[in-house]
Amino acid sequence: MNCRNIIFLDKAARRWDDGLPIGNGRIGAMVMGKVNEETIFINEETLWYGPKRNRRNPETKSNINKIRQLLQKGRVSEAAFLAKMSMTSTPKYNNPYQPAGDLRLCYMGNQTKYTKYRRELDIDHGIATVQYTMDGVTYIREHFVSERYHVLAIRLTSDGEKGLTLSANMSRKPFEENTGKIDDNTVGNWGINGVGGVSYFTGVRMTAKGGKVSTMGDFVYCEQAKEVYIYLSTKTDFAGNARYKEECMDNLDKAVRSGFSKMKKEHMEEYGELFNRTSLSLNHTSNDMSCESFPSELPTDQLLDSLKKGDQTYLDYLTLLLFNFAKYLMISSSYNCVLPANLQGIWNGSYEPPWQCEFTININEEMNYWFVEKCNLPECHMPLFDLLDRLVESGKVTAKEVYGCRGFCAHHNTNLWASTDIEGIFDASPFWVMGGAWLSLHLYEHYLFTQDEKFLKERALPVMREAIRFFEDYLYEDEDGYLLTGPSVSPENTYRSSAGEKGALSMSPTMDNMILRQLFTWYLEGSGIVGIDDEKDRKIIQNMLTKLPPTRISKDGHIMEWYQDYEECEPGHRHISHMYGLHPGNEIVEQKPELFEAARKTIEYRLSHGGGHTGWSKAWIACFFARLKDGDMVFNNLIEFLQNSVQGNLLDVHPPFQIDGNFGIVEAILEALIQSHGGYIDILPALPSKWKKGELRGVRLRGGMTADVVWEDSKLKECMVIPDKDQQVEFHYHDKVQTLKLKSGIASYIRM
């Protein structure tokens, strides 16, 4: 029975992104499950093409004021024409994230018809398995990536008398440089990924029971073995690691000494400690996927197909799979590693991937991490903070050389090298300096959930202050006395000006102001908490805060997206940037009814024109409705996400595959059940009417608390909260309010 957290498919993958993803943060693998000649796509997180580059346009500094003046005069086309030449980088784009290569397993004799095929990803334990029967013989392959040993481990078994005869080879077509034998049971693939790029090495080792292992050319192979074990380790010399090859070989040695079974046991224990911190059940479908709801076993893609046809029998099951799959993907792509999850997590099957498989920081990268603190995975947030630390250093150079400003800034994309320069040539995305400011808010969110004042003082506030320092020099005061950003864009939308010109470039779009308001406010709040009492500094920031343009409502009752009340050229656009203040920000709340209602109208208008047509955008819309306390609209968007925005293996599609939707939809589920952004705890604020009964356990809340929420007959049964420190907390449930004094480490129960 398909009763656990399992993605089950009854056929091999045809395309790369139909595979089953496994990973340990540093190494990713996509298991395709082919029978005769398997291909497992391998990734190493730091294997990007080419070197770090200076792409800054030397003409920007002398032209930026001209561009601002043109925009202020409404001469949009002239401003865009000048910006494209004087501001876009030279060259325009960052180089891509690339695969470490393809691990090919070739079987001798596996060419007849096979039956009982099963390809599954066990989300509970982080293991992918392929099983099938051919000529009466059952073949099983198990795969996982060990965090402790830094290897991909594969066990292949057969119950046939002839055993297993197969070879393994690692290739990087068309970027292959060197391949060959390393020792008697190890082959490798190594080279430099572009002139001046990182050097890489991948080693593949095979051991066997009941058969001999040899090498030939750049293949390692065995003949008639009862069991075969394959271990793969891959590394680069990023950050000056001169021992990358030796470390790979050491990893392989340790893996062989420990053995597959011991490694598997340790992997399940380590992974499970992270994965099991939170759990969710809905109606009669529990977190362990009780079998009573499932009269027969069906592959996951068939369950999705039935939902597309209107059958909601398995909807709760699929919802929980989505919830648990997101935790799995986060642990697998952003735990104890160098880099955070990128547009595709850590998985990439192309040497020219969509959008270079970068870290897109005008929404997608941030969306990846909205849910991590709530799911009690703060360790998974750390790689993002490590990248941000490097962005500060490179962003100081960009700020100085491009804009003549102090502090640091980052634009809408970054990469392995923490590039902060402008990227791209299309008007609607490159000219946006808010990436560093937005990312720095994640540091403060981490503090809010953990209450770690040492982290706040030593890590969060210094980064936030450097982001603010940039805007001290960058903001432009208009004739009305407002401080404006610009030239800027509202990612990645376009408008029609009062003169009839189509444009993207503008001064002070609403999202910019919302991000800055939150940055300035949180910095002032945080510096007060840790006792940073620089009165002059506080006055500077407070003055900037009061001079930011307010969030405005248009003549038709919507939140204005730009400083002027422009007409949208694409009213169903996937980006809904001016809703930042509703989510993930906390500016638009029900205590401000005019803005709250205008936000609802804005979202409904977007949806009526086809908005939410990409996976991540649909997830964001579900988050908006959670904040608007409309549970049934959260539910409806969740259904549409499952119907239109995931593949048979549950990976989100933009299209193509982007992992942000997988993460964003879980944020919406959590926000529907409990919220903590408004200065109080709101219990079941947007509970869908179809979720009659359920439990959310282990969820983290701002203020440093862990909570369990239980409901029956669509009503709160109990909320149990354990705080990390003594505090007084206000709890809301519908129109009821209860204030409790909580004691550190002691459970308190809220029943209203």
What's at 409, amino acid-wise? Answer: C
**Mean pLDDT of the region 56-71:** 96
First CA to last CA across the chain, in angstroms?
Answer: 39
Return d(Cα 3, Cα 300) in angstroms, integer.
12
pLDDT of residue 47: 98
Distance CA 280, CA 283 (A): 10
pLDDT tens for each residue of 575-589: 999 999 999 999 999
Mean pLDDT, residues 305-321 taken together = 96
Residue range 426-430: average pLDDT? 93
Give the mean pLDDT of 23-28: 98
Query: Given this model, what pLDDT does residue 290 score?
Result: 45
Is 116 exposed, middle or buried (CB count within 10 Å of its CB: 0-12, 13-18, 19+)?
A: exposed
Of 534 and 716, the one with more pLDDT: 716
pLDDT at residue 463 is higher than 80:
yes
Taking the CA atoms of residue 673, residue 678, residue 679 and residue 680 in that order, the dihedral angle to the nearest 10 degrees is: -30
* Burial (Cβ within 10 Å: 0-12, 13-18, ≥19) of residue 173: exposed
Residue 237 main-chain phi, psi, to 5 deg: -95, 20
- 477 touches 546 (CB < 8 A): no
- Asked whether the predicted pLDDT for residue 417 surpasses 60, the reply is yes
In this prediction, residue 554 carries a pLDDT of 96
pLDDT of 289 above 80: no
Residues in the chain: 752
Task: Report the pLDDT value the prediction gives residue 198, as an integer from 0 to 100.
Answer: 98
**pLDDT for 296 beyond 90:** no
Please answer whether residues 46 and 236 qualify as being in contact, where contact means their C-beta atoms are separated by less than 8 angstroms. Answer: yes
Q: Which amino acid type is present at position 12?
A: A
The conformation of residue 724, written as its DSSP 8-state character, comes to S
pLDDT given for residue 698 in this prediction: 98
Average pLDDT, the chain: 96
- State mean pLDDT over 588-605: 97
> φ and ψ at 408, to 5 degrees?
-135, 155
What gap in Å lies between CA 334 and CA 346, rounded to an integer?
8
pLDDT in tens, 216-241: 999 999 999 999 999 999 999 999 99
327: left (phi over 0), alpha (psi -120 to 50) or beta: alpha
CATH number belonging to domain 7-49+96-279: 2.70.98.50
Asked whether the predicted pLDDT for residue 565 surpasses 60, the reply is yes
- Which DSSP string corresponds to 73-118? TT-HHHHHHHHHHHTS-SS--PPPB---EEEEEEESS--S-EEEEE
The answer, yes or no, to whether residue 288 has pLDDT greater than 70, is no
Per residue in 623-659, pLDDT (tens digit) is 999 999 999 999 999 999 999 999 999 999 999 999 9
pLDDT higher than 80, residue 351: yes
**Closest C-alpha to 721, from 704, 705, 740:** 705
β-pairing, 413-414 with 279-282? unpaired
Confidence category of residue 284, pLDDT binned at 50, 70, 90:
confident
Per-residue confidence at 286, pLDDT binned at 50, 70, 90? low
Given pLDDT bands bounded at 50, 70 and 90, which one contains residue 287? very low
Q: Is the pLDDT of residue 295 over 60?
A: no
Q: What is the tens place of the pLDDT at every residue in 481-496?
A: 999 999 999 999 999 9
Share above pLDDT 90 across residues of the chain, in percent, rounded to a whole number: 95
**Over residues 56-65, mean pLDDT:** 96
Q: Report the pLDDT value the prediction gives residue 3, as an integer from 0 to 100.
A: 52
The DSSP line for 173-212 is TTS--EEEEEETTEEEEEEESSTT--EEEEEEEEEEESSE
Q: In the predicted model, is pLDDT for residue 119 greater than 70?
A: yes
Q: Domain ranges in the chain?
A: 7-49+96-279
Would the pLDDT of 749 be above 80?
yes
pLDDT value at position 297?
80
pLDDT at residue 179 is higher than 70: yes
Does this model's pTM top 0.85?
Answer: yes
The per-residue pLDDT for 110 is: 75
Local confidence band at 1 (pLDDT 50, 70, 90 cut-offs): very low
Tens digit of pLDDT for each residue in 3-22?
579 999 999 999 999 999 99
Residue-level pLDDT at 291: 47
